[in-house]
Every structure is written in C-alpha cells, then in structure tokens.
Structure 1
Amino acid sequence: MTSHASARPPARVVLLTGPSGSGKTSLAALTGLPVLNLDDFYKEGTDPSLPQLPDGGGADWDSPLSWDAAAAVAAIEELCRTGRTEVPVYDIAASARTGAAALALDGAPLFIAEGIFAADIVARCRAAGVLADALCLRGRPTTTFRRRLVRDLREGRKPAGYLVRRGLRLLRGERTLVARHTALGAHPCAKPEALARIAAARAAGPVAAGRS
C-alpha cells in the first residue's frame, strides 16, 4: 500500500539571483515561502581552489568559482525529493563555515533558493526537473551600490576599504552581470514582476510549476 507521504509530488524551486544588494533576501522573505540561502555554499577562505583578483586584492568572492555549485544543487534536489536537507552555516566575515543547520519545507510545494550565483545552476535544476522559475532582480546600479555598501558595512562583512573597492567594481559591471544571468536562463525583472511570477508558480501547484 502506497503511503500519502510517498505519493506527495516533489517540491519545486524558484531560483532568485541578481547583483549583490539588489534585494533578493528581502524579496524572498516577502513571499512567505521557505528559503535556501545559496551564499552558505561559499568555499572557505583556506580553499586552494579559490579564484584570486587580478590586482592582488585577495580572493574573488564574486566569481562563481568561489562557490560550491555541486553542493548547492544536491541540497536543492534533496529538498525537492524529501522536503528537508542539511545546509552549511557560513560566516562571510570569517570566510568560513561555522556549522550546519537543518532546513525543512514542512509540506510546502515551492521554495526559494536565492544568491548571486543562482543563475549558474538554472540548467542543472531544469535538467533535474525541479525548476519552477528563475528570476534575476535588476534595478538602478547606483541604488544597488548604495544599498550593498550600507548593508556590508553594517554587517562588517569585510574591511571597509575592500568593500568600497568591490562596490565600485560591481557598479561598473552590473549591467554586464545582469546580461550574463539572463543568458544563463534567469528572467530579468524588478520586484513587482518577480513577486507576481512567484505567486503564479505557487498557485500553479507542484506539477505545473515544474514546466519550463
């Protein structure tokens, strides 16, 4: 006899990307859906595979190579299949994992996975049959710059000089970044459209939402 639990359709994921400071975390919270923070899959600062900035400024934390995409996809697939997974807890200021935590969907058929590298796993999630939608938040680069710098200074993520240099570099490259995310399969949009698309995916249910 098949149990109700085993008959439950698998969950689906909305990948939410965009420039650092574009408002991904606050938008994900507004949806009321479970959220997987993809920034927790950063590599540790001691990892020899970390990419380096060409100017000798240290690790390039804005490169997708600074992130463990395979572990992030594995966590997403386990969440979709079983409704729960264990995720690392990452301290950005220390550039290190400080532990692990359980994440459970509690029966939700849809969840958000948000982070600046989410677009890099669109194809893998689509191939796995778990993708509901992929969105890239975009706005005014100057607004993003200001919001990002205020947040990073408040949270003490890195030394102030590093944050200013990084912010100016990201400001100059923001439009190129959004174009890259779009090419990888994320739909570029502002907050109102993103919320509308997430609501539509939620209303469609787990099976329909998985159609690409």
Structure 2
Amino acid sequence: MTTAQVIVLAGPSGSGKSRLAERLGLPVLRLDDFYKDVGDPTLPLITDGANAGLVDWDHPDSWLCDDALAAIEHLCLHGQGDVPVYDIPTSTRTGRQNLDLHGEAYFVAEGIFAQEVVPRAREAGLLADALCVTQRPAVTFWRRLTRDLREHRKPPLVLVRRGFALMRAQRGVVAHAVSLGCRPMTPVKAAAEIAQMTGHSIR
C-alpha cells in the first residue's frame, strides 16, 4: 500500500519545470540526478551536425530510467529514501542524499526524461498526475541558454548549438510526452491545477 503518489512534471529543457517544482511547496525528486556518468560505454553519441561525436545528453539512453522508477516506487511506499546527487557540469554522480516526504500525500518528480516513467508509474498505481510544461520555443530557448551559461553546464558553443537543435525539436518533445500520458499546459496552468489537487499554496 502506498503512502504517497507522484506528480510528474515533464517538458522541454528550459520550459520551467524546476522553477515550478520549487514553487509548489512539495518534496521534489530531481530526475536529472539519474543521468549516467560520463565515460559509461552505453552513453549515446550525437551522430550528425556540429556536435557530432559528443555525448547526446538529450537522448533517454543517457539516463537510468529503471533506477528513477525504483526511487519513485520506494518513496511512494515508504515516504523517504536515498537518492543520487548528480553534478551536470562534470557529468558525474557525486553522492547520495535522503529525500523525506514528511508525511506529504504527494511529491513531484521532474526532469527532461520525466515522461519516460509515466506509463509504468500509472500501471503500478503510483501516479497522481502527469503534466508536460511547455512555453513558446523562443522563450524556452532563451531560458535554457541563460540557465546553462550561468551554471557552466557545458562549453558555451556547445550550449548554443544544442539550444538551436532543441528549439527545432521542441514540438516533437511535447508530442512524445503526450503520447506517454502527459497533459500539455503552461507553467501557470500547471501550478493552478496542482495547487487545487494538493491543497498547497503556490510560493
């Protein structure tokens, strides 16, 4: 029997998932912390374009879906659990930390591959809702680029090239999330719906 259910926030990188998750006042599981470490031989590579030969961190094969699902299930069943801590600039896992739901009936799981957990989480009875946060591609591009440059996530030229590629791919990213069971909406609408469901005030 579960003690909590998960609200999944999917959406393109830079769409505002993390900011929204912080404003909800609920415990947050950062699904980007389940990336594989750099040097893992199973990491996918970009096959064409200016960044050909570099790791394709926007491909779901760069991410540990089974580990993320196991963490979600453990949190739903036990209300707390150890989760990884990942450093994106160095592309390495740096440790683990305890995530405690403190008795909350809901928690948020957000990340660029969040949609991948939706079908199995729903089948297991763990899912409260699944939303795909989306904004206009130009807005998402600028938010993503300024964030990634500020956090020194990757070299600037790589970030700019990646940004344009992701802007072109945004419609497909949203369509994929919808195909896996997410409902697309703006951050404002998503915040209102989650607040109504959980009874939490938006910060």
TM-score by length of structure 2 reads: 0.94
**Residue 143 in 1 paired to residue 136 in 2?**
no
* Corresponding position of 1:196: 192
Aligned residue identity for 2:136: R
- 8 Å Cα contact 1:41/1:71 also seen in 2: yes
Secondary structure at the residue paired with 1:198? helix
Instruction: Give 1:30 shift.
Output: 0.8
| CA distance in structure 2 between the aligned counterparts of 1:44 and 1:62, rounded to whole angstroms | 14
| CA distance in structure 2 between the aligned counterparts of 1:76 and 1:64, rounded to whole angstroms | 17
* Corresponding position of 1:85: 81
* Corresponding position of 1:34: 27
Task: Give deviations 1:33-92, integer Å, cap 9, x for gaps.
Answer: 000000000001111110100022411000111100000000000001001111111011
Relative to structure 2, which stretch is displaced further, 98-107 or 189-198? Answer: 189-198
Summarize the alignment of residues 126-141 of structure 1 with structure 2, pairs less than 5 Å apart: 126-141=122-137
Poorly superposed stretches of 4+, deviation over 3 Å:
none
* Corresponding position of 1:162: 158
Instruction: Give 1:172 shift.
Output: 0.6
| CA distance in structure 1 between the aligned counterparts of 2:139 and 2:14, rounded to whole angstroms | 9
Unaligned runs of 5+ in 2: none
Query: CA distance change for structure 1 residues 142 and 48 in 2, over 3 Å: closer, same or farther?
Result: same
* Corresponding position of 1:180: 176
* Corresponding position of 1:4: none
**Residue 10 in 1 paired to residue 20 in 2?**
no
| CA distance in structure 1 between the aligned counterparts of 2:18 and 2:11, rounded to whole angstroms | 11
Instruction: Give 1:9 shift.
Output: 5.3
Instruction: Give 1:25 shift.
Output: 0.6
Aligned residue identity for 1:34: P
Unaligned runs of 5+ in 1: 1-7, 204-212
Task: Give deviations 1:113-166, integer Å, cap 9, x for gaps.
Answer: 000101111001001101000000111100100010000000000001110110
**Residue 50 in 1 paired to residue 43 in 2?**
yes
| CA distance in structure 1 between the aligned counterparts of 2:187 and 2:14, rounded to whole angstroms | 13
| CA distance in structure 1 between the aligned counterparts of 2:144 and 2:36, rounded to whole angstroms | 21
**Residue 24 in 1 paired to residue 17 in 2?**
yes
> What is the RMSD of the two structures over their aligned residues, measured on CA atoms?
1.1
* Corresponding position of 1:210: none
* Corresponding position of 2:90: 94
Secondary structure at the residue paired with 1:136? strand
Q: Percent identity?
A: 54
TM-score by length of structure 1 reads: 0.90
Secondary structure at the residue paired with 1:65? helix
* Corresponding position of 1:206: none
Secondary structure at the residue paired with 1:47? coil
The structure with the largest helix share of the pair is 1
Instruction: Give 1:196 shift.
Output: 2.1
* Larger Rg computed on CA atoms: 1
